[in-house]
Structure 1
Amino acid sequence: MALELRQSLKLSQQLVMTPQLQQAIKLLQLSRLELMETVQQELEVNPVLEEGLDLYEDGGNPADDPLPDSALAGNNGPEEELGRSEPEQTAEISMDSSSALGEIDWGNYLNEYAGDQSDGGYSGAAGRDDDAPPSRLEIMSVRPSLQSHLQWQLNLSHISDREKEIGEFIIGNLDENGFLLVSPEEICSQTDCTPAEADHLLSRVQEMDPAGVGAQDLRHCLLLQLARLEAADSLAARIVRDHLSLLETRNYPGLAKATGASTAEVSAAVEVITGLNPRPGRLYSDADPVYIVPDVYVYKLGEEYVIMLNDEGLPRLRISNYYRDILDKDSTAPGATKDYVQDKLRSAMWLIKSIQQRQRTIYRVVESLLKFQRDFFEHGVNKLKPMVLRDVAEDIGMHESTISRVTTNKYVHTPQGTFELKYFFNSTISTEAGDGMASESIKQRLKSIVQHEDRKKPLSDSAIAAVFSRDGIRLARRTVAKYREQLGILPSKLRRRP
């Protein structure tokens, strides 16, 4: 078959997303921390953007700025691009521009180090009032890791340099839980020491704080902690050493038969064992905790609820007046310069409007959630109603995908606690009364049932389903098991207490 060139017409529909629209959608789904990083990156690469105390010097909207028409020619705002047509009240981007260095009281900083020299040149925080803010050293100090904590104890020991080298090798081969990752043979081969020296230094490490470090497995870790409690020959130690499998299944009759002790004595020994730490190294983890900062606050004032967007920590954005003047008709700047500034100005304006649109959308979503879930805000999780994304989407006139992006990694502080916005969307559990219940409410009731059950005869999944059935809630046994596992509740045979 011969090849030939041919012209043809074809009519098709396709969705084309401009880079500006992609940026608006990306900003919508970013978490608070990611948004702050994005704004800082844009400030570094876009010279038209700058930080200021006020979003705009004249207090107006970016769309009202006296910019050349060509600066925004051919560009709709993110509101129009996302299919929005209703005007809404503006939620300003509250952004703090004060520098962290400018907030430091340098006089106080120097006084802390130039105080009483009798204690080695540092006055410390011992004489500080309890109500006073922490010193700079307390803020900037690094939390000790497990290795540094053990190294500090090793340096205080009266041992030779050779022994210290072996001890450092052992400490360096502990995992985050405090367990030893190498065998005694590897210690000998890597440090050229004798087995006696390796055992001696390993024992020195196992005597350090916290109790249980340097163990090779869980059984050894628990035995080290019992020995520290002077209970190496107790019933608890015998159970850990010889009957750990029976302990894992909470087989109290089997433990009593295997040890020859009474059920009460076995129960007391198990209580001692459960009070031990199976991961002692975690006490000195140097990982920084991740704190949740709410994006929205909901307060109750009288009988009404007030929604406040959390804008703390975000830098305020504004357009630089210097670059505005470059685009003026009377400016003598070259054409290439004007084109560059115009492109950067268009990008800056879009970023500002996109962030404002993001804030307005979050506000409207929380406002809709407050309308649908008012009983939850009043009484708690037990009054949570079943909801889907479509309910909010239809209420505020947006697409479900937009609501999904808004509620991802966004948190709201309420009188009932801090929750992710996704938390309010739950599946429906039918009841005999005809109205549905939210799955989170069912989980809360399941948790309450387990907390008040008889420890000697814990309820099975089928028995819990029967309790729900008496209350008019149809719940299958496998659904109860799924919710129980999600709540971290053990099966009935592992919850049994003699």
Structure 2
Amino acid sequence: MRLGYGINLEQSQKLVMTPELRQAITVLQLSAADLVQYIENAMLENPLLEVRDESEPEEEIGSEPAGDDFTRDWCEYLAEYGQVDRSFDRAWADQEDDDAYNFEHFVAQAPSLHEHLTLQLHLSLSEPWEREIGEFLIGNINDRGYLQISLEEVQKACGYPVSEIERILKVIQSFDPPGVGARDLAECLLIQLEQRGLRTPVMEKLVRFFLGDLARGKLAKIAAALGLTVQEVQLKADLIKSLDPKPGRNFSRPGDVRYIVPDVIVEKVDGEFIVLVNDVSVPRLIINKTYQTLLRQRDTCDPATAQFIENKLKAAVWLIRSIEQRRLTLYRVVKCIVDSQREFLERGIKYLKPLTLKQIARVAELHESTVSRAIANKYIQTPQGVFDLKFFFSSGVENVVAGEMVAAESIKRILKELVENEDATRPYSDQHLCELLRERGIRIARRTVAKYRQEIGIPPVRQRKRYR
């Protein structure tokens, strides 16, 4: 066998990930809020991009005399893509009014827990050294409302007696929210009971020694240990459950407040569901007119400047096109989802149908990966509420009675209704719930029932049992 070298010519087709294609994929995956940030960053890098001023009348691009064929081609392209979606602008313009921008509709940032406590501290203590200790203690209270440092460590840091530190801690523990400044869960609950005037020896024993048994629903064991009836323990357990184990969680931290802005809105108009891509907050991009003029006069520019403008123009137009393509793709995908989920939109989660990416991709004539990117990080506002678009893509089981598939979310809603209507003195076990579902034609295993029950936050049968 002889070895040698040779040159072979071969033709093949390969998918090349160009920067433009990578940008289009990135834009497709962005939510409306993230897209705004992406556009702002792009405008910093590309001087040809600018936001259209809605107060100025639009001018047709290409109305001026064009230069060579290259310039004329770009002007035609810009006329098509540079002024994106005017019909969509008009549709949303009808919904705008002066009240939409009333400052009363905006929510001010709530004070943080530390700010709330510091304000109360300054109203309660006047001595500078007391405030110094108090501010140090408050600075070591975590977001849940618990003190994370021992009094001895405070003494080393501040140099004041432990007795004075403990006195000031007691002052802080009297502040709002009830239970703040506690060093553990038991102290937190006891502080709240104290403020309600309900701290009795029995309640103190329950909190200090039987919280674990209470959580596991072992009321008979607690009743025997304390010499109470099960019904009495039940009432005391209900009282403890009404307390807040994390008193600081209702206060915001900087950056904690997040609002969901739906990327798509579905409304019912004259019996039909209308899909609106909610990109009102997305800036409408156009090409800077000064650079358009320079491009038409590129023969008078030096080659480096002309090349720079051409490169930036291509990047700008591709971004505008990618944004428009994102809107069209998102519309197509959501329209297919809406057509598949009419019963859900009209009647609620119980009527949600199982759906796969493959099904939507086939109907929308898109690739599965495109559908997956289109629904990523996006929310939809429907007559039934606001949902993550991924919510609609879930597995299901066959309903042997109705002869159709039932989505997992629908089964969870049925489970929730069954538990809400059960006899609390004889709650349903997972096996019993499984049998009730079978009566409705839904055949799933007991372990699946347990899994769904846990996912929707329903405790096990022992913890749901009530004593009368």
Q: Same fold (TM over 0.5)?
A: yes
Identity of aligned residues (%): 39
Post-superposition Cα deviations, 1:180-236, rounded to whole Å, max 9, x if no partner, equal 111121111121122212221221211222111111111110011101111221533
1:421 aligned onto 2:420: no
1:248 aligned onto 2:215: yes
Name the residue aligned to 2:34: 34
Q: 1: CA distance between counterparts of 2:421 and 2:45? A: 59
Name the residue aligned to 2:308: 340
1:48 aligned onto 2:48: yes
| Structure 1 residue corresponding to 2:407, chosen from 411, 419, 438 | 438
Q: 2: CA distance between counterparts of 1:344 and 1:93? A: 27
Post-superposition Cα deviations, 1:58-90, rounded to whole Å, max 9, x if no partner, equal 468x9xx9686546999xx9xxxxxxxxxxx96
- SS of the residue corresponding to residue 430 of structure 1 reads strand
Q: Which structure 1 segments of 5+ residues have no match?
A: 78-88, 96-102, 105-131
- Alpha carbons 2:71, 2:296 under 8 Å: kept: no
**Aligned pairs (5 A) from 1:312-323:** 312-323=280-291
CA displacement at 1:162 relative to structure 2: 2.0
Residues 73 and 355 of structure 1, relative CA distance in 2, 3 Å threshold? same
**Amino acid in structure 1 at the alignment position of 2:152:** E
Name the residue aligned to 2:369: 401
Name the residue aligned to 1:368: 336
1:304 aligned onto 2:272: yes
**Amino acid in structure 2 at the alignment position of 1:455:** A
Q: 2: CA distance between counterparts of 1:414 and 1:384? A: 13
CA displacement at 1:26 relative to structure 2: 0.6
1:457 aligned onto 2:426: yes
Aligned residues between the structures: 443
| Structure 2 residue corresponding to 1:477, chosen from 446, 454, 463 | 446
Q: 1: CA distance between counterparts of 2:234 and 2:405? A: 42
Name the residue aligned to 1:164: 131
Q: 1: CA distance between counterparts of 2:48 and 2:170? A: 64
Residues 409 and 140 of structure 1, relative CA distance in 2, 3 Å threshold? closer
**Amino acid in structure 2 at the alignment position of 1:211:** P
1:57 aligned onto 2:58: yes
Residues 142 and 31 of structure 1, relative CA distance in 2, 3 Å threshold? closer
Name the residue aligned to 1:290: 258
Q: 2: CA distance between counterparts of 1:194 and 1:164? A: 15
| Structure 1 residue corresponding to 2:236, chosen from 269, 279, 295 | 269
Q: 2: CA distance between counterparts of 1:71 and 1:46? A: 19
Q: 1: CA distance between counterparts of 2:67 and 2:202? A: 83
- SS of the residue corresponding to residue 260 of structure 2 reads coil
**Amino acid in structure 2 at the alignment position of 1:364:** R
Q: 2: CA distance between counterparts of 1:241 and 1:71? A: 81
**Amino acid in structure 2 at the alignment position of 1:194:** P
CA displacement at 1:263 relative to structure 2: 2.2
**Aligned pairs (5 A) from 1:61-100:** 69-70=69-70, 94=89
- SS of the residue corresponding to residue 386 of structure 2 reads strand
Q: 1: CA distance between counterparts of 2:132 and 2:301? A: 68
- Alpha carbons 1:150, 1:209 under 8 Å: kept: yes
Q: 1: CA distance between counterparts of 2:425 and 2:433? A: 16
- Alpha carbons 1:325, 1:331 under 8 Å: kept: no
| Structure 2 residue corresponding to 1:187, chosen from 151, 154, 160 | 154
Residues 133 and 364 of structure 1, relative CA distance in 2, 3 Å threshold? closer
Q: 2: CA distance between counterparts of 1:5 and 1:191? A: 84
Post-superposition Cα deviations, 1:375-423, rounded to whole Å, max 9, x if no partner, equal 1122121111111111111111110000000011112211111112211
CA displacement at 1:284 relative to structure 2: 2.3
- SS of the residue corresponding to residue 306 of structure 1 reads strand
Residues 259 and 320 of structure 1, relative CA distance in 2, 3 Å threshold? same
Post-superposition Cα deviations, 1:133-182, rounded to whole Å, max 9, x if no partner, equal 557xx969652211111111211224422222222111111100111111
- SS of the residue corresponding to residue 178 of structure 2 reads coil
- SS of the residue corresponding to residue 274 of structure 2 reads strand
1:208 aligned onto 2:175: yes
Q: Which stretch of the first structure deviates more once superposed, 235-244 or 377-386?
A: 235-244
- SS of the residue corresponding to residue 282 of structure 1 reads coil
Name the residue aligned to 1:122: none
- SS of the residue corresponding to residue 305 of structure 1 reads strand
- Alpha carbons 2:264, 2:275 under 8 Å: kept: yes
Residues 329 and 167 of structure 1, relative CA distance in 2, 3 Å threshold? closer
Q: Which structure 2 segments of 5+ residues have no match?
A: 78-83, 91-96
- Alpha carbons 1:94, 1:316 under 8 Å: kept: no
1:384 aligned onto 2:390: no
- Alpha carbons 2:32, 2:279 under 8 Å: kept: no
Residues 188 and 172 of structure 1, relative CA distance in 2, 3 Å threshold? same
CA displacement at 1:357 relative to structure 2: 0.5
| Structure 1 residue corresponding to 2:378, chosen from 392, 397, 410 | 410
- SS of the residue corresponding to residue 183 of structure 2 reads coil
Name the residue aligned to 2:189: 222
- Alpha carbons 1:52, 1:318 under 8 Å: kept: yes
Residues 262 and 218 of structure 1, relative CA distance in 2, 3 Å threshold? same
Q: 2: CA distance between counterparts of 1:325 and 1:6? A: 55
**Amino acid in structure 2 at the alignment position of 1:256:** A
1:487 aligned onto 2:456: yes
Aligned-residue CA RMSD in angstroms?
Answer: 3.0
Residues 418 and 401 of structure 1, relative CA distance in 2, 3 Å threshold? same
- SS of the residue corresponding to residue 387 of structure 2 reads strand
